[in-house]
């Protein structure tokens, strides 16, 4: 099950001519694909386009009605390889994944695709999340577009512009026989707006039709001597054709009056630019600007004569280009130099070289440029954003940082508690991590795993340490990473090289970190995908014999013992532990509505809750250090003889029992207890509860009467 269902929104994708679509950017992208006669779509989920894959999955009935093939690919490379259908056939195809990590994974297929060229429109929708909202290394997809000659669109972040960019991308791809990248940022994916709809179009040639009339052309195979011809074709034919198409169809836009200064801005940064100019009194909320803007909805290739026409008569130009290196600024500088144009180019300097261009950064950068280039355009008094708000004091020394961590009840938490117990017994081991929720274990309180080399590459990252030593290396990988790339790149690597290392596959039933999508080993029934394929079976299929399956990770003692066995056994070859329990978020999404409905219907429902006996808790907080659950916190007592706060479990507890299991396995104080909350109890249960409460009340009153009290004399 995915994090969110789009079943209701998907019905709006059926809107035709004259309709008005209202929704998020990802839904607008899907609608635009259907309106432009896409023949097949695919991709791999990952922020910020995870929900785009979820929309496509929920829209499979509609896709089927239109004859559109949809595939949820095993990884980004498999998605990019799908676009081979557009090499020989005039079929429009689109795939999507997160960039630049998705582009990295798909680079081999994409490079071949760009070399051979395409007959049908081939579109790669790249979800770009450069900046502080990103969970990956800070890079841009722009470099790949330049390297392999992909045309790169970066539309203004509003729904009409995004929808138009999809149609422009297909047309540009077909006019130049070149694949196109459409870059959508986090804000573009989730911006809400409206656009006028058109009828959905069936593909002119479907993939089923293509199978009845197969085509092939050796000239498009990327082998010598044709690969040399491909390069010449890019430079002599495709590139000039792209520049001509961009100019003829007005893909880039110019706003504002003539002036001695101007701004060149990536399409995706347009909203931030207008907002900064508005704060400076140089634009209004409708986009009417006093400073000329040249908006690059196509950031590669650039169109020299179009840019020079904008630069004509200007003394200063500012380039707003988020991220580094400054590819666009360098290219525009070269165009001005070759044209011997006497225009001073500004960019990095007024703006920082690296980092996200937030509202404040945009304001300060444009203000700094105008102070140098056109101080007369600025109002006498410039009010900085939030100038009226009080200054926030530096809290870095008093408020601790709040790094990401496991959710309450996460089944991965007990795995790492068991690893800490084994570490205490056998010593510290070399540990390689992987991409996924389990990477949070590298943070306190566990501090397990210090490096990650890519999705599915955790065990492979330990290859250099697998030659024998005092202690076996340990690698951690999730089920999502296992099926994405891990089985082929990590575990066949371990098997082929006769590794002596240990790998733990954290199986929470889903690709949980990307939103809870099903994968090969998911336990759910999925009518369109193959699930319930055991990871342990796949491991044995590639020649790994020492495999241990644990189906309840909350059993910390069993986890500890199994890991100790893997680290100490004399059995040669790779040792793999598959630790399986369902992702608690997905479990709660599924079970909580059912539980609420049952309670409303008057049915008897038990809900386990855990607590801490304050009289028994020793106050050393070892349970917190070994568990780290967000629901486990501290509580101060009124008892004057006990200064230290005791452990306490708040109302966010989901009843997983991990805290008690940890306390038992680590032989901590036995202060944890379980209480089952009974909703809609039966009559005899109510009578029994009332009887118990009377007995307890009498005992409490008796004890209170015997307790000494100390009162302060008046």
pLDDT digits (tens, 9 = 90+) for 203-217: 999 999 999 989 988
- Laid out side by side, the sheet with 293-296 consists of 253-255, 293-296, 261-266, 316-320, 344-346
Mean pLDDT of 308-322: 97
According to the model, what pLDDT value does residue 629 have? 87
Q: Go through the domains of the chain in sequence order and give each one's CATH number.
A: 17-199+206-248 (3.40.50.970), 253-377 (3.40.50.920), 413-586 (3.40.50.970), 604-704 (3.30.70.20)
Name the strand (E) or helix (H) holding 212: none
Token pair in block for residue 506: 């954290």
Q: CA 105, CA 99: separation in Å to the nearest integer?
A: 10
According to the model, what pLDDT value does residue 383 have? 64
User: By C-alpha distance, which of 674, 511, 691, 614 is closest to 47?
Assistant: 511
Q: Could you tell me the pLDDT band of residue 262, with boundaries at 50, 70 and 90?
A: very high
According to the model, what pLDDT value does residue 381 have? 65
- Residue that wins the pLDDT comparison between 115 and 6: 115
N residues, the chain: 714
User: By C-alpha distance, which of 10, 18, 120 is closest to 65?
Assistant: 10
According to the model, what pLDDT value does residue 548 have? 97
Q: CA 137, CA 139: separation in Å to the nearest integer?
A: 6
Residue 435 has pLDDT above 60, yes or no: yes
According to the model, what pLDDT value does residue 388 have? 65
According to the model, what pLDDT value does residue 712 have? 63
Mean pLDDT of 123-127: 96
According to the model, what pLDDT value does residue 714 have? 63
pLDDT digits (tens, 9 = 90+) for 593-633: 999 999 999 999 988 888 898 888 888 888 888 888 888 88
Q: CA 422, CA 664: separation in Å to the nearest integer?
A: 15
Q: CA 87, CA 66: separation in Å to the nearest integer?
A: 22
The answer to whether the CB of 292 falls within 8 A of the CB of 254 is yes
Percent of the chain with pLDDT over 90: 65
pLDDT digits (tens, 9 = 90+) for 133-160: 777 778 899 999 999 999 999 999 999 9
Q: Could you tell me the pLDDT band of residue 665, with boundaries at 50, 70 and 90?
A: confident
HEC letters along 305-357: HHHHHHHCCCCEEEEECCCCCCHHHHHHHHHHHHCCCCCEEECECCECCCCCC
According to the model, what pLDDT value does residue 1 have? 55
Percent of the chain with pLDDT over 70: 97
Please state the pTM of the whole predicted model.
0.88
DSSP string, 84-113: THHHHS---EEEEEEETHHHHHHHHHHHHH
The answer to whether the CB of 406 falls within 8 A of the CB of 628 is yes
Instruction: Report in angstroms the alpha-carbon separations of 59 from 22, 166, 253, 275, 524.
Output: 17, 18, 33, 36, 19
pLDDT digits (tens, 9 = 90+) for 455-477: 899 999 998 987 777 899 999 99
DSSP string, 380-424: SS-PPTTTTSPPPP--TTTS------PPTT-TTHHHHHHHHHHHH
State the chain's mean pLDDT as an integer: 91
According to the model, what pLDDT value does residue 5 have? 76
Q: Could you tell me the pLDDT band of residue 6, with boundaries at 50, 70 and 90?
A: confident
Residue 519 has pLDDT above 60, yes or no: yes
- Laid out side by side, the sheet with 474-478 consists of 431-432, 474-478, 502-507, 575-580, 546-550
The answer to whether the CB of 296 falls within 8 A of the CB of 328 is yes
Least confident of 385-389, 405-409, 470-474, 668-672: 385-389
Q: Could you tell me the pLDDT band of residue 284, with boundaries at 50, 70 and 90?
A: very high
Mean pLDDT of 162-190: 95
Residue 685 has pLDDT above 80, yes or no: yes
Residue 387 has pLDDT above 70, yes or no: no
Q: Could you tell me the pLDDT band of residue 67, with boundaries at 50, 70 and 90?
A: very high
Mean pLDDT of 102-128: 95
pLDDT digits (tens, 9 = 90+) for 476-485: 999 999 999 9
Mean pLDDT of 529-533: 90
């Amino acid at each position: 099950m995915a994090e969110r269902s789009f079943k209701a929104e998907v019905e709006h994708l059926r809107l035709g001519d004259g309709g008005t679509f209202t929704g998020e950017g990802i839904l607008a992208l899907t609608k635009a694909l259907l309106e432009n006669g896409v023949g097949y779509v695919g991709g791999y989920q990952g922020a910020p386009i995870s929900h785009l894959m979820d929309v496509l999955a929920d829209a499979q009935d509609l896709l089927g009605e239109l004859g559109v093939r949809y595939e949820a690919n095993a990884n980004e490379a498999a998605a990019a390889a799908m676009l081979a259908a557009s090499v020989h056939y005039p079929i429009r195809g689109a795939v999507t994944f997160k960039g630049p990590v998705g582009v990295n994974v798909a680079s081999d297929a994409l490079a071949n695709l760009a070399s051979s060229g395409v007959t049908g429109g081939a579109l790669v929708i790249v979800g770009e999340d450069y900046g502080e909202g990103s969970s990956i290394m800070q890079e841009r997809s722009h470099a790949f577009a330049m390297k392999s000659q992909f045309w790169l669109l970066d539309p203004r972040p509003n729904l009409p512009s995004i929808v138009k960019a999809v149609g422009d991308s297909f047309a540009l791809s077909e006019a130049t026989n070149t694949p196109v990248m459409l870059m959508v940022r986090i804000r573009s994916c989730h911006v809400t707006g409206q656009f006028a709809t058109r009828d959905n179009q069936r593909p002119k040639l479907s993939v089923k039709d293509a199978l009845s009339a197969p085509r092939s052309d050796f000239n498009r195979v990327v082998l010598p001597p044709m690969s040399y011809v491909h390069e010449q074709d890019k430079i002599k034919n495709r590139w000039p054709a792209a520049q001509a198409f961009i100019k003829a169809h007005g893909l880039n836009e110019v706003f504002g009056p003539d002036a001695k200064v101007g701004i060149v801005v990536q399409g995706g940064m347009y909203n931030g630019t207008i907002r900064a100019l508005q704060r400076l009194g140089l634009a209004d909320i409708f986009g009417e600007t006093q400073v000329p803007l040249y908006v690059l909805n196509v950031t590669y290739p650039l169109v020299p004569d179009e840019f020079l026409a904008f630069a004509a008569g200007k003394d200063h130009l500012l380039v707003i280009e988020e991220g580094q290196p400054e590819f666009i600024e360098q290219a525009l500088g070269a165009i001005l130099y070759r044209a011997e144009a006497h225009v001073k180019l500004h960019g990095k300097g007024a703006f920082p070289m690296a980092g996200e261009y937030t509202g404040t950064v945009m304001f300060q950068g444009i203000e700094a440029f105008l102070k140098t280039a056109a101080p007369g355009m600025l109002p006498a008094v410039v009010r900085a954003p939030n100038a009226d708000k009080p200054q926030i004091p530096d809290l870095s020394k008093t408020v601790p940082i709040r790094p990401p961590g496991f959710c309450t009840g996460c089944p991965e938490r007990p795995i790492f508690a068991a690893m800490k117990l084994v570490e205490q017994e056998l010593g510290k081991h070399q540990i390689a991590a992987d991409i996924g929720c389990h990477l949070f274990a590298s943070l306190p309180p566990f501090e397990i795993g210090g490096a990650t080399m890519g999705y599915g590459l955790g065990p492979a990252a330990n290859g250099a340490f697998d030659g024998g030593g005092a202690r076996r290396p340990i690698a951690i990988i999730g089920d999502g990473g296992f099926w994405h790339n891990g089985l082929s790149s990590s575990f066949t690597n371990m098997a082929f090289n006769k590794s002596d290392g240990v790998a733990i596959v954290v199986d929470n039933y889903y690709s949980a970190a990307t939103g809870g999508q099903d994968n090969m080993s998911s336990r759910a029934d999925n009518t369109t995908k193959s699930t319930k394929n055991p990871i342990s079976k796949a491991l044995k299929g590639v020649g790994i014999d020492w495999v241990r399956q644990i189906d309840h990770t909350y059993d910390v003692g069993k986890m500890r013992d199994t890991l100790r066995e893997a680290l100490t056994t004399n059995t040669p070859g790779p040792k793999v532990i598959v630790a399986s329990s369902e992702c608690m978020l997905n479990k709660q999404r599924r079970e909580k509505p059912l539980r609420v409905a049952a309670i409303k219907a008057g049915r008897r429902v038990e809900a386990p809750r855990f607590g801490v006996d304050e009289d028994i808790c020793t106050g050393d907080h070892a349970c917190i250090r070994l568990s780290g659950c967000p629901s486990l916190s501290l509580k101060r007592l009124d008892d004057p003889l006990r200064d230290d706060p005791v452990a306490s479990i708040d109302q966010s507890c989901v009843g997983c029992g991990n805290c008690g299991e940890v306390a038992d396995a680590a032989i901590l104080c036995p202060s944890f207890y379980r209480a089952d909350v009974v909703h809609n109890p039966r009559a005899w249960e109510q009578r029994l509860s009332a009887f118990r409460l009377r007995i307890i009340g009498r005992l409490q009153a008796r004890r209170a009467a015997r307790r000494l009290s100390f009162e302060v004399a008046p």
